[in-house]
Amino acid sequence: MEKRLIAVFGALILCASFMIFRVLDASLKSEYVSTVNSQSRYTVTVCSARGTIYDRKLRPLAGGKSEYRAVITPSHETVEYVSKVFEPQQLAQMEERLTGTAPFVIKVDDATVDGTGVDVFSAQKRYGSVKTAEHILGYVNMDGNGVSGAERVFDEVLAKNSGYLKATYTVDARGRKLSGTQPQVIDSTVLSRAGVVLTLDADIQSIAEAAALKYLDKGAIIITDIESGDILACVSCPRYDPESVAQYLSDSDAPLINRAFSCYDVGSVFKLVVAGAALENGIGDDFVYNCTGCVEIGENQFHCSKREGHGEIGMEEAIAYSCNTYFINLAQQLGGEKILDFAQKAGMAEAVEVCDGWMTDAGILPDLAVLQNPAALANLSFGQGKLMLTPLHLSRFVGAIANNGIVVQPNIFLGCTDINGNIINGSQSSEERLLSSENANKLKQYMRACVVYGTGKNVVTDRAVCAAKTGSAQTGIKTGGRSVVQAWYAGFFPYDEPQYACVVLAEDGESGAATAGPVFAYIADELSL
């Protein structure tokens, strides 16, 4: 009996111990679960990095820029610390968020503010503090999608090659960072090194922008490589900040428009086209005209820039002095159909496609039926009437003259690049003969005469030997009691071994030589160093 009692008592003790163990275990687990549930993780995106847009030498134009950003985790200690290291204006901007609990991101000037509750990271930004080539690069919207320029055309490629920098913090149930913990950082921004390579040259672009800043209020500059057709620089004025686009939407000067890709009245630069058509159709130096300063066609009088007339004049002098009456008579001899055929062969009736999906405005030429009117043909002969072209159209044509008669399709896209800088999927420009080599050389000679003794002679270059044609196009628009004139200076350099074609449009300028010429001269001299 005694042994039986001992056994029962032992069993009771064992059961009681087991029950106590289960209760204790459940209690501990409950406390652990409560502790885990009181903690969570909060991820902050420090920056997003879209694929990079490079110049031809793989220098970042958009993307690849850096700035400092700080992640601030609110606490009493953080507030006390930031009040010592931040300026009052910055403190005012983040005052409300400091009263919360969640970590947040702000831009900072440098890394010296790193400290209690403040983690500073080197982050990527899209555009540099000094903006460049904004009308070619374009801009993105609030969602990071491309809206204009290269950002739009190559949006899919740039979005595909995106990365980010994220910091994940351990926080308590109230969202406060747990003391003594460090953020977990994930950085995939290296992926954004892949992207798109444009034909722009950052150095040449900088020179063109400096020339525009010095001389050009409204207008455009386009510089192309004569042999390849690559667009090396493109400037449109007024300029804009791609990070503050909204402020320009209602600007009457329309700074968001790329004027280099937009149509304008052409004026006397078109005399090169008429001369080219004449030479290709067998009319050349032997065509001489006696300019008396005015010619009557029907009821219309057309005046030369030299009211007393130039006297007997040949094609070289007519281009150099920009003699209107010579070209009126030349157009009558040639006929409107041959001029239009040549202009269309030069691509002036179409948009210029600089890469797949990216085009300029289409050029505007008069219909052949319109040119049956002798007065309309006279207007076309010196670049007036129903005629509008973009600076890029004229750059392509001037480039063909300098390139011994070979017209090359302008190009803005060199290819895509991987994160190691290997260029893939490159494109090549097409080319075809527009002028015979002999006739191209004649036009080069005539353009040189324009600079040496003609309308462009006052445009002085110290280092470059140039050839060019001036233009001052009447628009028919009046403002403030005066006529609006589009001023042009279109040419190439160096003269003996042409490398660059450069066209300058000065919107609402005085004249081609006076307003657009200094821009051209500045660029030519800088590129001749």
Note the pLDDT of residue 232: 98
Mean pLDDT of 323-335: 96
C-alpha dihedral, 515 to 516 to 518 to 520, nearest 10°: 180
Look at residue 207 and give its three-state secondary structure: helix
CA distances from 176 to 39, 222, 424 (A): 9, 55, 48
Note the pLDDT of residue 14: 57
Q: Is the pLDDT of residue 371 over 70?
A: yes
Beta bridge partners of 236: 220
Average per-residue pLDDT in the chain? 91
Cα 399 to Cα 410: distance, rounded to the nearest angstrom? 10
Note the pLDDT of residue 175: 62
Are residues 316 and 271 in contact, defined by beta-carbon separation less than 8 angstroms?
Answer: no
Note the pLDDT of residue 13: 60
- Domains in the chain and their CATH numbers? 40-92+103-198 (3.90.1310), 202-526 (3.40.710.10)
* pLDDT above 70 coverage of the chain, percent: 91
Cα 359 to Cα 344: distance, rounded to the nearest angstrom? 17
Cα 398 to Cα 445: distance, rounded to the nearest angstrom? 13
Are residues 408 and 229 in contact, defined by beta-carbon separation less than 8 angstroms?
Answer: yes
Torsion angles phi and psi, residue 441, rounded to 5: -65, -35
Which strand (E) or helix (H) includes residue 177?
none
CA distances from 320 to 82, 92, 444, 452, 453 (A): 69, 65, 11, 8, 7
Other Cβ atoms closer than 10 A to 105: 18
**Regarding beta strands 163-172 and 104-108, do their DSSP bridges make them parallel or antiparallel, or are they unpaired?**
unpaired
C-alpha dihedral, 5 to 11 to 15 to 17, nearest 10°: 90
Cα 407 to Cα 399: distance, rounded to the nearest angstrom? 7
Mean pLDDT of 122-140: 94
Note the pLDDT of residue 305: 84
Are residues 249 and 405 in contact, defined by beta-carbon separation less than 8 angstroms?
Answer: no
Give the burial class of 206: count Cβ atoms within 10 A of its Cβ; 0-12 exposed, 13-18 middle, 19 or more buried. middle
Cα 391 to Cα 412: distance, rounded to the nearest angstrom? 15
Q: Is the pLDDT of residue 100 over 50?
A: yes
Q: Which residue has the higher pLDDT, 38 or 354?
A: 354
Note the pLDDT of residue 323: 96
**Closest to 472 measured CA to CA, from 491, 450, 494, 488:** 488
- pTM greater than 0.85: yes
Per-residue pLDDT tens over the stretch 143-192: 899 999 999 999 999 999 999 999 999 887 766 677 777 889 999 999 99
Note the pLDDT of residue 4: 58
Per-residue pLDDT tens over the stretch 471-502: 999 998 888 778 899 999 999 999 999 999 99
Q: Choose the most confident range, by mean pLDDT, from 27-36, 358-367, 479-488.
A: 358-367
- Determine the longest span between alpha carbons in the chain, in angstroms: 150
Cα 380 to Cα 382: distance, rounded to the nearest angstrom? 5
Mean pLDDT of 454-470: 94
Strand order in the sheet with 65-72: 104-108, 65-72, 118-125
Which strand (E) or helix (H) includes residue 441?
helix 437-452
Note the pLDDT of residue 509: 92
Q: What is the CA radius of gyration of the chain?
A: 35
36 confidence band (pLDDT: 50, 70, 90): very low
Are residues 382 and 271 in contact, defined by beta-carbon separation less than 8 angstroms?
Answer: yes
- Residue that the structure tokens 């405005």 belong to: 361
Note the pLDDT of residue 37: 42
Note the pLDDT of residue 16: 52
Note the pLDDT of residue 379: 96
Note the pLDDT of residue 529: 83
Note the pLDDT of residue 32: 37
